Chain A
Amino acid sequence: MLRLQLNDSARRKVYALCALALVVLALPPSTARASDELDLGRYRGKVVVVDFWASWCAPCRRSFPWLNTMHERFADRGLVVIGVNVDRERAAAERFLREVPAAFPIVYDPAGALAARYRLTGMPSSLVFGPDGELVETHVGFRDAWREAREAQLIELLQRLPNQARSSSAP
């Protein structure tokens, strides 16, 4: 058992530290807005690429044009591309999108709930889900040299889709 013998000035300092600690603990955990929901169940039967990006993520400036190309090329073959933004400030994300536009839908995750759910290990992270909803691969980072292999992976997954899921417009 520690014996604390404090004089008046030391005791006041300890009280001040305790008060400061209480103030810090009482602060709300996050001032960020709540995250959007992402339900991948509705994309069952399609190949889904969930790309976590942020305005401060330099490789994302290179990944977006590639994701746009993938979206344009394979959307009617059953590819779904979703961008999940993890910026705390929506304005930063919007500024990025003005410079680097996205042809695919964007989901906002300012509180980091979706990022935590998928346990990201780095930024950017691209999660590829197969038609059965299983996570096929997580690509951490983006390199131009990876584009061919990643496209080949998507094509291979798309070829596994049943014919009904391929075209969005049913006859």
Chain B
Amino acid sequence: MKPNALLLVVALVCSGCANVEPWERDVLARPEMSLDADPVDAALDDHIYFSKEASSGGRGFGGGGCGCN
């Protein structure tokens, strides 16, 4: 890869990471920020994830996301 292009890509990638603390999740807690806020869709997806991969939780709701299953 040409050195100019590589430098540009590295610079862009470095700016893409933002560390959000649990008490800074106010914007992320908004319903429009969740992957799918519709409760029926979310329930159906949850059932599929639970059935296929035994995973659950991780939904984006205020205070109940990461750190509180």
Mark A residues whose CB is within 8 Å of B: 2-6, 10, 17, 52, 54-60, 86-88, 92, 109, 112, 115-116, 120-125, 140-141
Number of residue pairs A-B, CB distance < 8 angstroms: 73
Report yes or no: A59 in contact with B23, Cβ–Cβ below 8 A.
no
Name the residue on B nearest A122 (C-beta). Answer: B67
Residues from chain B with Cβ under 8 Å of A121 in the complex: 22, 67
Q: Most chain-A CB neighbours within 10 Å: which of B25, B29, B68?
A: B68
Q: Are B67 and A56 in touch, CB under 8 angstroms?
A: no
Assuming the A-B contacts A121-B67, A123-B67, A124-B63, are A3 and B3 also in contact, with contact meaning beta carbons closer than 8 angstroms in the complex? yes
- How far, in whole Å, are A19 and B61 apart by their CA atoms in the complex? 37
Q: Is the CB of B4 within 8 A of A123?
A: no
A112 and B26 contact, CB distance less than 8 A:
no
Complex interface: chain A residues within 8 A of B66 (CB): 122
- Distance of A86 Cα from B29 Cα, bound (Å): 14
